Amino acid sequence: MGKFSKRDSSEIIQPVRSVVPIQQHSGFLGVMPAYLAAEGILCTKMVTFYQRAEGSSLPSTQATVLLFHPEHGNVTAVSHTNLHIRCTSVHVWDLLNCYLGQ
């Protein structure tokens, strides 16, 4: 989340990501929440990483971003994509920019 890293640490609450190993299925689930109070942004990025057999129709990396209304906690936007891991932070900012009309 590129723009997050450029902010003063007091402006954002972004805990260390949680990673859940799914050993039985050769995968991982990463959960990355963040809150920017000044901008009214509450979001969570969830990314799955799975080892796939060659020729699998499923991508090895999939991501879903949830945007929440910070005051009420309800989901205001959901975005899902199959992607290469280096693209996840760009995807989050594309969604936020679209949502915020920037």
| Overall pTM surpassing 0.85 (yes/no) | no
**Beta-strand pair 27-36/61-68:** unpaired
| DSSP designation for 7 | S
Backbone angles phi, psi at 91, to 5 degrees: -60, -45
User: Among candidates 11, 9, 4, which has minimal Cα distance to 45?
Assistant: 4
Q: What average pLDDT does range 33-48 have in this prediction?
A: 91
Give pLDDT, residue 7: 55
Domain range 29-50+58-102, its CATH number among 3.10.560.10, 3.30.1780.10, 3.30.479.10, 1.10.10.10: 3.30.1780.10
Give pLDDT, residue 12: 85
> DSSP states of 8-61 as a string?
-GGG-B-PPPEEEEEGGGTEEEEEEEEEEGGGTEEEEEEEEEE---TT-SS-SE
Q: Is a pLDDT exceeding 90 seen at residue 71?
A: yes
